Amino acid sequence: MPAAPKPHFPASPETMSTLAGIGLAWETLLASVRAGHEEASRCTKNDVVLREGFLRWATPLRHLGDEYVPQGWTRERPGGFELLVNPTRSLAITVAPGNTNTGTETMPSTRIERGPLTGQAVARNRDQLRFGAEISPHFENEAIPDMAIWLLLHYVDEDQEEIRVELSFPVEFTKTARTERGFVTRFEPRLVLAPIPLSQHIDIHDDDDGEEEIDIPIAPRA
């Protein structure tokens, strides 16, 4: 098995400054991912197979909403696409599992296929153009044209005993053959955070069925 990519550690001062400039705290982002992993780690083999992956996605969104909605952010769901939107409606974030390159020097991608709304969000980021009639009316009617949509990527690396995390700006969506679904394959910029050491924060269950099952999404509409 090839060696795992070397992660950035710790996060750079530039990353911290950029996060502060857009009204986000790195501690809160890491805490949200950690909360999702802690909830997922309480699952057993008697849970439905999708539950762990659902918790890794849904719990960080809840945690971020609990922290930032009192500060004027809003939770919005255009077409079922879960977003946390800042008070000026210039920026929104959502959560997605990344592949093994998450949090390293190598360009990551989303770990599992995303739906057409993600592809449209990436097109919005890249071109910053108003959607035409062919684009989902959920975005056309409910989101302003220049809203930047960021992804909070996370990857659980049990070999390295860490969770790697980055908040990154998606600019490329690669569709799979004959479908409107695909993967986000390029991000610019990438705000890489310090990994979360599993041994210091989280107990890993011996009965885990592995990454391939726990990162399956339950809401494919996005």
Q: How high is the pLDDT of residue 218?
A: 38
Q: 54: helix, coil or strand?
A: helix
CA dihedral 209, 218, 42, 60 (to 10 degrees): 130
pLDDT tens readout for residues 141-156: 454 557 899 999 999 9
Instruction: Cite the DSSP H helix spans in 90-164.
Output: 116-127, 137-142
Query: The tokens of 94 are what?
Result: 């959502």
Position 132 pLDDT exceeds 90: no
How far is the C-alpha of 154 from the C-alpha of 151, rounded, in Å?
9
CA-closest candidate to residue 110, choices 181, 42, 31, 159: 181
pLDDT band (50, 70, 90) for residue 10 = low
The percent of residues in the chain predicted with pLDDT above 70, rounded, is 76
Question: What domains sit in the chain, N to C, each tagged with a CATH number?
Answer: 13-214 (3.40.600)
Confidence of residue 106 (pLDDT cuts 50, 70, 90): very high
**Could you tell me the pTM of the whole model?**
0.78
The tokens for 145 are: 């044209």
Query: Given this model, what pLDDT does residue 124 score?
Result: 80
**Cα–Cα distance, 27 to 45 (Å, whole number):** 31
The region of weakest confidence among 17-21, 90-94, 134-138 is 134-138
